[in-house]
Amino acid sequence: MGTTYKLAFAMALALPLAGCFDSPETAEETSSTAAGKSSQIRVAMMQPPRTGLSPLSDDAFKLSRWSTAETLVNLSPESEALPMLATAWEQVEPLVWHFTIREGVSFHNGAPLTAKDVVNSLQAAIDAAPKPRILDGIDLEVRALGDYQVEVKTQFVDPLLPSRLSSPQLAILAPSAYQEDGRVVPISAGTGPFELLEINGTTSAKLERNDNYWGEKAKIETILAEYVPDGFARAAALKTGTADVVEAVPVAQIATIDPALLTEVAMPRTNTLYLNSQSGVFDDIKMRKTAAAAIDREQIVNTVYEGHADIAEGLLGPALAWAAPIRPERPQLTEGLKANGESIVIGTFTDRAELPEVAALLKQQLEAVGFAVELDIREYAQIENDALAGKFDAFILSRATVLDSGDPVAYMMSDFSCAGSFNIGQYCSEQVDQALKHADLQPLGAPRNQAIIAAEQAILNDYAAIPMLHERVIQGETSRVSNVVRDPSERRLINQFTEIN
């Protein structure tokens, strides 16, 4: 996509964007806000929902970022398990845990939260097809022990269980959310400081303050969230003030925006080229090695990200500070690896503005060693199913590596185990499966970290995927707002402490 076309496209999208959000506040509304009677925050979200905001999918992270759905356990910035809807937990036997449920909590529809509701939500996740990725390879049994205690049984000694239960995909919702046809509709079904009132398809969502929240009441009244997949349009919304908070401002737009409106957050997120090991080309490890040798990571970081990213040495980046010191040095690939005109199709998506540019540069690099490359670039919502079905020879994905539990094993199982629910590369290795299972059995700390790196090396030695760079996400905030959450784990954005200045 040429520069002129991109600018014209961005301008075309930016014009209707102003109509998506409410116009900047009128004098009457500003006066009302100043008097403490009303306040609204406008958020430009990067991706539209894919399953109607079902918590059993990645849409759960929107519910979490809007502080409407809550989990049993919270996760600190240091990945420490903290109380949320559960006030305490105990491992009473090697395979049995008891969780004490917080009393005095009501769902947004007014119904009280009990152990029975917790069991209902967790069982829905356990029975889901596909399962939430935090449950890949995990079988749990749950039952209520009285009104405010839940028992969870695992099939192996699982030191990570409390952290697993912090995954937004295991949010606890009212029974009214679970439909007979299997859908989960979270309207007025959460327990958080904001109540989800409207789901307007892939256009927007609206939330209002929950005045009966069990914790501290939110400082703002309304969240209006609009889905703006085009990054240039999101940047335009920030510059014009039609959005107060903007997810993932494109690097290419940084120079055009007041630096005071931007915050750069180092993310546990890796931009990776997944190679389809079942395709007619990359089922050959020699071809996978040829592709890996062709990729110039430094050129991608400097050209596309203008230096606002870190060159990847593995799947896990600098946000996991323990990984690099224990990672062994990898051998250099043999020079002179060449393809012989093999045709490959690489897919990626437009929602992250840099990815189409990464794809264009990768196309040049791979063609330079003899591949014939075709690109297929769409919005993520339109391309995900094809990617998961293995319809591409390779796929470029910006992937959070500790999104669910603060621990990368869940991500690695989801993406690289034979039964993984997000195995875009159609990859299956008994050695890798055993390495991941071993890692998941290790206690938290050094033994687990060493086992994780061993599993990472097994994946990289097979060239199942080629990590290219670790991202730093740039979040936009106007001067109108304060206390917006800047969360590397992408779980929080607006909470009860966010306010209008």
Q: Where are the domains of the chain?
A: 3-66+192-244+478-500, 73-177, 265-473
**Residues in a beta bridge with 373:** 344
294-299 average pLDDT score = 96
CATH number of 73-177: 3.90.76.10
Domain 3-66+192-244+478-500 is found in CATH 3.40.190.10: yes
**Structure letter (DSSP) for residue 500:** E
User: Tens of pLDDT along 113-131?
Assistant: 999 999 999 999 999 988 8
User: Tens of pLDDT along 239-288?
Assistant: 999 999 999 999 889 999 999 999 998 788 999 999 999 999 999 999 99
Provide the CA 251 distance to its chain's centre, in angstroms: 19
Mean pLDDT of the chain: 90
Q: Which architecture does CATH list for 265-473? A: Roll (3.10)
Cis (ω within 30 of 0) for the bond into 130? yes
* pLDDT confidence tier of residue 403, bands split at 50, 70 and 90: low
Q: What is the pLDDT of residue 16?
A: 41
**For 125-164, b where at least 16 C-beta lie within 10 A, e where not — what string?**
bbebeebbbbbbbbebebebeeebbbbbebeeebebbbbb
Asked whether residue 137 carries a pLDDT value surpassing 50, the answer given is: yes
Residues 479 and 474: their CA atoms lie apart, in Å, by: 16
Asked whether residue 22 carries a pLDDT value surpassing 90, the answer given is: no
Give the lowest-confidence range in 37-41, 295-299, 486-490. Answer: 37-41
149-171 average pLDDT score = 94
Q: What is the pLDDT of residue 21?
A: 55
Q: What is the pLDDT of residue 38?
A: 57
Is residue 273 a contact partner of residue 468, using CB atoms and an 8 Å limit?
yes
Q: What is the CA radius of gyration of the chain?
A: 23
**For 271-289, b where at least 16 C-beta lie within 10 A, e where not — what string?**
bbbbbbbebebbeeeebbe
Cα-based distances in Å from 26 to 32, 248, 360, 432: 10, 28, 44, 59
Asked whether residue 225 carries a pLDDT value surpassing 50, the answer given is: yes
* pLDDT confidence tier of residue 101, bands split at 50, 70 and 90: very high
